[in-house]
Structures are given as structure tokens and as C-alpha cells.
Structure 1
Amino acid sequence: MVIDNVIEPFLYVRKIHNGYPPALGRQRTYDYFDKYTFLCEMYDEDADEVKELVLNFFPFDNSIQIIDSSKGRNLVKRVQLPPLKIEMLQIGNIVNIFSRLLYIKDCAPATRKELYHNIQSTFALIKPVPPSAHGKIITFIMKKDFRIVRMKNGKVSKDFAKELYKNLSGSNLLPIVIDYITSGEVIGLELVAPDAVKKWRECLGDTDPVTAAPGTLRRLYGENKVKNVAHGCNTVEDANQMLNLFFGYENGVPRIPFRATYENCTCCIIKPHVIIEGNLGAILEQIATSKNFSISAIAMFSVKLADAKEFFEVYKGVVPEYEAMSIHLAEGKCVALEVKCNNPNINCVCEFRQLCGPRDPELSRQLYPDSIRALYGKNIVHNAVHCTDLAEDGQLEVEYFFKLLAND
């Protein structure tokens, strides 16, 4: 399908707009188009078919237009949609347009040139640092305008470590680095940004935290040349290889296994709006630094609407927000956690619900102002996190993500 066949020509305008678009970290005066155009797919339940649609986004007034490309007519006439932000319009994302879920498959050449110039993926590895530091590191990454599109914790083999540090081949430092990397839990991330490989290495700073520039990650949190917080690849080719080794599958089995234990646990789902708003790291830090809990497994997922409805099925006909809850879980990346109590005598599900607070963030702010939902929730649907309701469902909900969806 050729997008330009079903849209009117782009109009050039000049406008001062500091910090636009935020997802790409631009802060300048520049020429850009009056709209950005995306090729999308939408599943039509009534017709039981996938429709190809064109989504036009007009940045001046945050309005949208949807065109049914097969019929050449408007499906949604131009209308303002304040909840839709430019940073949501990334290829591979799902966006919610008046309860229609559109998968962004591609974009017009001019939109690609303007919004996605030199966009790259790179592989980042958080080394075996104390779990209390994970949230701070994730917050640092997101404040540097990286998008996290894949994420999970794991333990790596010596073969993986040797491939990761092949540039140290022959160095006396290599055995020490390999022993450290394989000694504990790591977190792998796929980071997306303009010129991501170079940018991530600049954010890391020098190998030695002592000589790293002020404000770099290693200067802030590193101990020495080996325990220097995180790793970055030198080239796009190396990054792609390590992304495949860390996140890839072999014969249907993940090369780096998920860390979920499915025992004495509860499930926490950090919702898409939290990730878009940059609060993922803060919530991870709040959980990890609480005296009662530890995060044993973490992974980022894209959830299909049918799966979201199945996961929330217990709420169907019980809470009026069931449909909206399902749509929100499916409209962006979410992060699933297996959470354990440090005290095995405590009911993990019930105790963790207290840390999250009541479903309604307004009620949380009144009763438990330091709870997760009080701090990061907006309303009953966008209430920051889902947490298991019933004690007997903790393991089942963890299994739904780390067994069923992980192998889907």
C-alpha cells in the first residue's frame, strides 16, 4: 500500500516550538510538516478482518484524522485528541483512538525523514548491581530520551559474557569481567534513540568511574572499572547481535530464560501510561527499597487486546471499567513483575496490595499518600499498576505473563 495515494500533499509551515517532539529530544526552531502520516492496522471484530488505515496526526492542535484506505474515505474526521502524544506515535506501537486500537505499521517517507532520522536500537546491560539501584538507572535512561522497547532480567552464561566482551580478548581483565557479569542477576534492555549506539556510550561515560565525566551513569553509580554499572556496544552490528542473543529464542525456548519462580509470589503489572510518563524507574525503586519486597522477575510485554480481556476476565461484569482496563493494557508496552515477600510468613498478595493502595488513585491519595497509585495513578483505569487481588491467584497471574505470553 502506498500511503501518499490517499492523503493530500504535505504543507510546509515554520513555527517556534521548543522541546518538540519530546520523544526525540529536539529543542530548536525548525521547518516541519503540518501533519505526520502513519500506516496502521486495526482488527474489526464485527467484520472479523484486519483493516489497513491511515492515521494523520496534526501537531498544532493535537488533532487526528483516520482514513479507510480501501474505501478512500474518512473513518474519523479531524478531531482533537489531547491524550495522544507525539511520543506514542512510534512504529511498532499500539495507540488508542476512541477505543479503537491501531497498530502503527509504517509511516510516510516524509514523516520517517522528519521524525525518525538516524533512529537506532542498541543493547544495554545493567550489571549485577544491588536491586535498589535498578530504578535509579532506569530513570536515568528514560531522562536521556531513550525509549525502552524490550527489557528483562536474567543470568548470563560465560559464553554470552565472552561474546559481550570480545573486544577484551587477550586482556588480563577479561576473566575478572566474565566472573563478575556471570556472578549475579543482570537486566538487558533494547534502547531506541537517534544515533543510539553512540549516545548510550556517551551516557555511560569512561570505563573507569573515576575519570568518567560528571553526570554520566558510571560516574554517578560506578565503583571501579569492573563494577561500573552497565555495558554498551561499540557498533550497530554488535548491538544487533547481542539483542538477538539476549532476547532471542532457539527452538521456541528463550536463550536467556525468564527468572520467574512461580512460588510464594504476587503479580504486578506496570501499566503503559507509567512508561510513557517516565515513571517506570521510580516504581521499581519504590518496590525494591521497601523492607518487605523484592522483584524476582521482570520483563516488558506488548499485550494483545484479546489477551488483556482474558487476563482481566475476572472483572468482567463486576467493575464498569473492565473494557477500558483491557484497552489500556493493550495500547502500549507494559512491564510485568514477579514480586516476593522477604518474610515468608507474610501473605505476599495482601501485603503488596497495601503498597499499591486502593484502585482509585484519589482514594489512595487520601488514605495512603505514599502508595504507588497515590503517587503515579491518574484515575481508576490509569492507576499506575495492576496487582493480584486474591491470595491464590498470585502464581496464576505471574504464569500468565512469564509462561503464556512469553511464549506466544
Structure 2
Amino acid sequence: MWRSIASNALTLFIVLLIAVAGLLAWGRGQFTGPGPLTESICVKVERGASLAEVSRRLEEQGAVSDARIFRIGADYSGKAQGLKFGSYLVAPGSSMEQVLDVLTAGGASTCGREVNYRIGVAKAEIVLRELDPASNRYEEVAKFDPAAEAAPQVYVDAALEGDLRWQVTLAEGVTSWQVVESLKRADFMDGSIAEVPPEGSLAPDAYEVEKGADRAALLAKMQEKQKAILADLWASRVDGLPYDTPEAALVMASIVEKETGVASERPQVASVFVNRLRQGMRLQTDPTVIYGITKGEGVLGRGLRQSELRRATPWNTYVIEGLPPTPIANPGRLSIEAALNPAVTDYLFFVADGTGGHAFAQTLEEHNANVARWREIEAQQQQGTNP
């Protein structure tokens, strides 16, 4: 009898072991296998949220098939206490294991909303965008110029969100004064700015910042980046340039930056000015005249007058010989590279060609023909016809 009981108990125990093993295997399959999502979604982890709260929300959003299995898997993997606050993009078919990895990896949020403060030559704009999980593309929610408009309520509300991402973007060709004045209007930043950084010393780029970031510290970061870019490109410059210091190259780069917005022709534009310097010709470039008038404090907003082309300022290259004493804007990397590695050409002139680029010429005769063509295009544009 006891043998029968022992045998039955052992059999039951083995059956139970098999059942438990099967259950564990099934649970692991559920945890590591493809998930139920058919399209991407944003998952938000609130600050201080518990694993139970997050797992329930994941099940409600259809990111996981069973909140209990997700919690058990998180406990078993040792990541139950590793949830990171923020908004995260979860891809279609993500397993529970992959979802857990996304929510515990840390770093910047990969979903939700972001603010980009774009500091441009003409104006600065604060742009609020939100990621559309389905297309994985950001869509504009609101945009305004803090110098001229009140912040819309949607931005005010969004600024209170703890996981909102912040970015400051400098366009190529902005002046240091424009950057400082724009940063003063950045309501998401703190700290005062003692002085305007030297012209040309700020690297145009996109900078990730935290809410409440120090303005002066951001300017210092921009200066360090520009310094590193200039040092890197100066080391690989071509021989025979008509300027022998990085500072002079930066001046040339700023002129190239202001003369063209077409990246592919910057080396040709640089070659014109390099050729002129080598031949002892004046640079005769309008952006330097404008800088002599505005000192980089705003946009001129009109055409140059003949009297201004003749007016002597330290930057007016129609009057002075060689390069101006300082840059006239903050040039980007491509313009610095063009100044240090200009194209090899015989060009001495260029003028707008009506396409956004320029027509280049070796002789004054060719240049005058290009100018006449540009005048025709201007006249046709004023009449509302296509050239």
C-alpha cells in the first residue's frame, strides 16, 4: 500500500514538474516571442511610476499581451526596478523583453514632444513638435517668434511636461549678437550673458539642452566646438593660401558663408576671393559692406546705396585692401573647409544666376555679360514672369 502511495506521489510530482516546466517554457515564450503591436506607439513612463502601473498601461495600449507575464519577466531579469522616466517609441512586434529593454535603457526620450529653438539670420523661432509613432516623423504642433509673439497655450502647457526635450539650433551665417539676443529670449534657459562672444567664434549646429540650462555655458560649448572645427580643418589646409593664420581663414569663411547658401559652390566662391587676394584686387563683397553698417546687430532689410558702397568702414571691402579685421558672421564647417581648401579656378567674378546659385567668370567681359543676364532675370521676376 505504501509503495503504491509513494509511486503515485512520485508520479504526481513528476507530472507537476513537467507542468511547471511547461508553464515556464510557455511564459518565457510569451516574454521573448513577438508581441501583439501592429504599428509603433509611444509609451510614457511617469516619474516614480511602479512596475505594476506601467505593465497595466502597456497591456491597455496593446504593447504586451499579459501584464502579469511582463512583471514576472522583469523580476526574473533583474530589471523590475530599472524603469526610466520618459517617453519611448515601441516598434511593431516588439517582444515583452524588447519593450522592457526600451523602458530601462535610459538616455533621452525617443518619443513624445520636443522643442527646437531655431536661431536664424532673419529671425528666431520656437518650434514645438510631436512624434507621430505610425510614421516615425515629427509633426509641427506650434511655432512662434518669441521676439514678436506671445507663446501659444499649447507651448505653455507642453513646457510643464517633465520629459519634453529641448534643443537650440544655430543656422549658418548668424551673427554672435543675434545668437545672444535670441538666447536672452529663451524662456526655458537661465543665467545672464556678460558679453557678446567674438564674431565667428560660435559653431552653427544643433545643441541638446536641459530645461533651465545656463546660457553662458551653452555659448561656451558653441565656442569650444568652433575652435575644434577650425583647428581640425586648419591642420589639413592646402598650401599657398593668401592668409597664414586660422583667424584670417575664419574671416574668409564668414564671407563665403554670407555670399552663398549653395553648399556645392562654396569652394568656387572661396576660389574667387583667394584669386583676388593673390592678384592684389579688392574683394568687393556686399556682405562686408552690410556688416560695416549693422555691426551684425540685426538685418539691413534693404538694398545697399551707392553712398554706402563708398563709405569707409573697417569691413567695407570696396574701400579696404585685403580681408576685414573680423569675421562678419559665424560660418559653418563647410564654409571653413572651403576657405582652407578652395577650388582651383581662374575665376575672379561671380553674380547671381537666378537659380539660387551664381554664374562665375574669369574676365570682366564675361562677368558683365552675366550681370546683364541677371538684370534681365530681375526685371522678369518683378513683372511676375518666369525667366
**TM-score higher than 0.5:** no
Query: What interval of TM-score do these two structures reach, taking the shorter chain for normalisation?
Result: under 0.3
Higher strand share: 1
* Greater relative CO, 1 or 2 (CA 8 Å, sep 6+): 1
TM-score normalised by L of structure 2: 0.24
Larger radius of gyration: 2
